[in-house]
Structure 1
């Protein structure tokens, strides 16, 4: 049975690869797995049919042979476990790659998302101007620690892994703010991720649906 993922019928990012289905597309491309996409409107995301697959009414979801998953991190982890190319063979290196997946989603992404919320959902609040520097400061603190760990290395822990896939995907969301530019090694790290042929295919597929 073919793999089917869901994606925005019209993504809020306008096809810039920031929607979370891009992470799943990228993982599938790295694994060399064909997939189909079912586009979902904002209205359909809140209807019973989609809520049965994703209880929180979001995207992406993943369906294959009776299995239905939601949450991009869980989906990428499943792909990485089931297919080659995203997790090292050595058990210790494999565990570290999974750790970096969790770090990307649990430690680095939350303050980046908080900045988006502060700008686009709370920007008109009287306290917004005071809050913005605090939010940006938390992002810089996380990126400073990540930058020191990465140093001059190409990837986070040896060869490219699902940990890098998730981390690059998260850091891409920080780039529009300009904060990423303050960390040249992280900006170069993200560029290396974007240069991978699998990412290029995933980005092109998402762009083709959403570009004006």
Structure 2
């Protein structure tokens, strides 16, 4: 059995590459691995068959033989560990690349998701007008730190790695807010990630699913 991942039958972002399955697709494309995608509806995500793969009823999941994984970071880490192209051979550089995977998910993404929550899920709440500037300032603090670390380098630690893949994917969530444009070096960093052929293939695959007419439509 080859690699099978799950993805939204219809992505909430309309196929703009923000759904987390794009990160897994990108990693698989960087590693040159063939894979199949099983689309899952929002209803099916909460049914027993999918909950057996992902106990929280989300996507993506990853299946390869008897192995079943959930959580994007764990899936990308697994792919990077077992296939060339996403982690350096040098032990120290490899450890640093893994550190950047965790930094993207644990240090940078949470505050960005706060902004998504405030702007979309809490936009009608009375406290939103006061909360938004605070959240935006916390994001700016993180981006200032990240930009200082990146400097004028192309990637976070030498060559492109799974750490960059995850960080670029996280930062892409900021584009609609305009905050990323306040940090030209980080905007250019994200753009470099988007120009990689593997990312383009992953994005095109995700876009094609959402651009197609609904089944029966």
Q: TM-score, normalised by structure 1?
A: 0.99
Query: What whole-Å deviation, never above 9, does each CA across 1:29-66 have from its counterpart, x for those lacking one?
Result: 00000000000000100111100000000000000011
What does 1:120-199 correspond to in 2, within 5 Å?
120-199=120-199
1:94: how far off? 0.2
1:43 matched to which residue of 2? 43
For residues 211 and 176 of structure 1, the distance between their equivalents in structure 2, rounded to whole angstroms, comes to 20
Summarize the alignment of residues 48-59 of structure 1 with structure 2, pairs less than 5 Å apart: 48-59=48-59
Cα offset, 1:76, TM superposition: 0.2
Cα distance in structure 1, aligned partners of 2:205 and 2:185: 28
Task: Report the Cα distance in structure 2 between the residues aligned to 1:75 and 1:20, rounded to whole angstroms.
Answer: 11
CA deviations 1:155-176 (Å, max 9, x no partner) are 0000000000000000000111
Q: CA RMSD in A?
A: 0.6
Where structure 2 has 5 or more consecutive residues not aligned to the other structure, the ranges are: 213-217
Distance in 2, matches of 1:100 and 1:10, equals: 30
Aligned length: 212
Q: Residues 123-150 of structure 1: CA distance to partner in whole angstroms, max 9, x if unpaired?
A: 1011110000011111111001000110
Partner of 1:63, secondary structure, is: strand
Query: Aligned to 1:174, what secondary structure does the other structure show?
Result: helix
Question: What TM-score, normalized to structure 2?
Answer: 0.97
Match of 1:60 in 2: 60
Q: Deviations over 1:167-201 (max 9, x none)?
A: 00000001110000000000000000000000000
Structure 1: segments with no counterpart, 5+ residues: none
User: Alpha-carbon deviation of 1:211?
Assistant: 2.4
**Aligned mates of 2:26, 2:121 — CA distance in 1:** 29
